[in-house]
Structure 1
Amino acid sequence: MSLKVERGRTLARSQAMQLLFQAEARRLTVNEVLAGEYLITKGPLDPYAEELARGTFAHIEEIDRVLQRVSENWALSRMPGADRNLLRLAVYELRFSPSDIDDAVVINEAVEIAKAYGTDDSSSFVNGVLGRVVRDPRVLGRAQEAATDSADDADAQEAEQ
């Protein structure tokens, strides 16, 4: 399958999703997949794809907890593999990536990739789950968590005095 526009970050996200899918299917780490043979569309591997795949894999346990929290009626194991890995990638970009990419851009890109790689229902499913990730106050980014923790610590210190 091929995306209509396979350039720049769209291509990188597509390649990263493919790497994550291969790692999961072969029961390997992303580093092991990258060290061996792998298949991606429109090679060579975009450096941003590698960064996204490694970053997503490094945070996969936290990301899976986020996805399980917002996917009330869907166990991760029941999701199609392409959808699951695309959601992981998008949650990484939304909440863990050091890049400052607008949430709407990440969601739009994920929806477009879901159309190319998923089932007929994938794009609406991905859109719905990622919308819940963005709206759920329990799903904060690291910077937000650190700021909240610092503010809570300052409030606690002030209350003690």
Structure 2
Amino acid sequence: MGIRRISRETALQFLYQEDFTITQGQEFGYDLEERFDLFCTLFQVNKKAKSYALSLLKGICPRLDEIDSQISKAASNWRLSRIAATDRNLLRIAVYEIIYGDNVPAEVAINEVVEIAKKFAGEESPKFINGILDAILTGQKS
């Protein structure tokens, strides 16, 4: 498994943890790097994976509302709050890489989160995530 995959998994785990803090009325109003360093210490994150994971988080967190808006538009018939937390955070990672990332082809970003979904999410999650990301990618091209 490549370092970027491990980085994405680390970002997923961090976002998953923080998702519950946000839903309790708090925002990412803390020092992200400091919080991430603590997370890495507690969960013994691969040192080589930390850099890209932090880069993803620094990109996702300030754009969370924009990213969530993209997901909501593409996930017709689904409220964002009703999407499983793992799926929601995998979508956030991929949407960030598709829309704002400049060094990852969209197809790679989609494939990566679909593969991670097979490991961390429910049985139907890979198809669900792939469908939403395909709708976002199609919307970006038109």
Does TM-score exceed 0.5, indicating one fold? yes
User: Which residue number corresponds to residue 112 of structure 1?
Assistant: 115
**Aligned positions of 1:94-133 closer than 5 A:** 94-97=98-101, 99-133=102-136
Q: TM (normalized to structure 2)? A: 0.83
Secondary structure of the residue that 2:122 maps to in structure 1?
coil
- The 8 Å contact of residues 21 and 85 in structure 1, kept in 2 or not, is answered as yes
Tell me the CA shift for residue 40 of structure 1.
4.5
**Aligned positions of 1:131-146 closer than 5 A:** 131-137=134-140
Matched residue count: 133
Point out where structure 1 has 5 or more consecutive residues left out of the alignment. Answer: 141-161
Distance in 1 (CA, whole Å) between partners of 2:8 and 2:70 is 20
User: Which residue number corresponds to residue 50 of structure 1?
Assistant: 54
Q: In 2 relative to 1, CA 130–40 (structure 1 residues): closer, same or farther, beyond 3 Å?
A: farther
Tell me the CA shift for residue 35 of structure 1.
5.2
User: Which residue number corresponds to residue 21 of structure 1?
Assistant: 16
Distance in 2 (CA, whole Å) between partners of 1:63 and 1:131 is 15
Q: In 2 relative to 1, CA 41–111 (structure 1 residues): closer, same or farther, beyond 3 Å?
A: farther
Distance in 1 (CA, whole Å) between partners of 2:58 and 2:124 is 28
- The 8 Å contact of residues 15 and 41 in structure 1, kept in 2 or not, is answered as no
Hey, which of these two has a bigger chunk of helix by percent? 2
- The 8 Å contact of residues 15 and 40 in structure 1, kept in 2 or not, is answered as no
Structure number, greater radius of gyration: 1
Letter in 2 for 1:131: D
Tell me the CA shift for residue 85 of structure 1.
0.5
Point out where structure 2 has 5 or more consecutive residues left out of the alignment. Answer: none
Secondary structure of the residue that 1:136 maps to in structure 2?
helix
Runs of 4+ in structure 1 over 6 Å off: none
Q: Percent identity?
A: 33
User: Which residue number corresponds to residue 85 of structure 2?
Assistant: 81
- The 8 Å contact of residues 70 and 132 in structure 1, kept in 2 or not, is answered as yes
